[in-house]
């Protein structure tokens, strides 16, 4: 085989394996997002919130009633001017207690803090601490979705 053919074959293999990894991660993320968006704790907020605070421990920079903010961290790469933190908010409703984590961003020296979307993976990390059994179920479902997304399609007769 010529070097050119071997290089082309290697590029083709890398492209398809990258595509499979992307499909797997997308499927995994979709399950986590769907399950965590719908998840509520059966326990009342007064029981859940102290455990949430303990989960974050020394990472908490400030706290209000059932809302906490983690310490600001400097963004990776770029000019180092961007900073990020998490806002964690607990609410109680008829269906149970919800804990929602939102990514927040800010440019260094700017007073404007912007919400940058919900962080379902961080919510799952909290669930792993508070209800490991339910978190394991979601993890298993996410892994199965990743496996299914990259499985070879069944041959047609």
Two tokens, residue 140: 């298993």
pTM listed for this prediction: 0.77
**Residue 11: predicted pLDDT:** 47
| Whole-number Å distance between alpha carbons of 23 and 139 | 17
Q: What is the mean pLDDT of each run of 10 residues along the chain (157 residues)?
A: 51 57 87 93 95 95 94 73 92 93 89 90 96 96 90 60
**Residue 140: predicted pLDDT:** 94
**Residue 153: predicted pLDDT:** 66
| Whole-number Å distance between alpha carbons of 18 and 75 | 26
H helical segments located in 39-130: 45-56, 120-130
Domain boundaries, the chain: 3-148
Two tokens, residue 86: 């998490």
Nearest by Cα to 130 from 53, 51, 59: 51
């Amino acid at each position: 085989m010529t070097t050119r053919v071997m290089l082309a074959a290697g590029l083709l293999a890398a492209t398809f394996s990258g595509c499979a990894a992307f499909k797997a991660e997308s499927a995994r993320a979709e399950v986590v997002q769907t399950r965590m968006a719908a998840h509520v704790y059966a326990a009342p907020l007064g029981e859940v919130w102290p455990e949430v605070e303990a989960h974050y421990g020394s990472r908490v920079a400030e706290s209000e009633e059932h809302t906490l903010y983690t310490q600001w961290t400097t963004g990776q790469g770029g000019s180092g001017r961007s900073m990020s933190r998490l806002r964690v908010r607990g609410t109680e409703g008829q269906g149970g207690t919800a804990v929602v984590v939102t990514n927040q961003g800010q440019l260094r020296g700017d007073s404007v803090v912007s919400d940058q979307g919900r962080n379902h993976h961080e919510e799952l990390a909290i669930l792993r601490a508070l209800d490991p059994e339910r978190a394991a179920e979601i993890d298993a479902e996410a892994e199965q979705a990743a496996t299914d997304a990259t499985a070879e399609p069944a041959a047609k007769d």
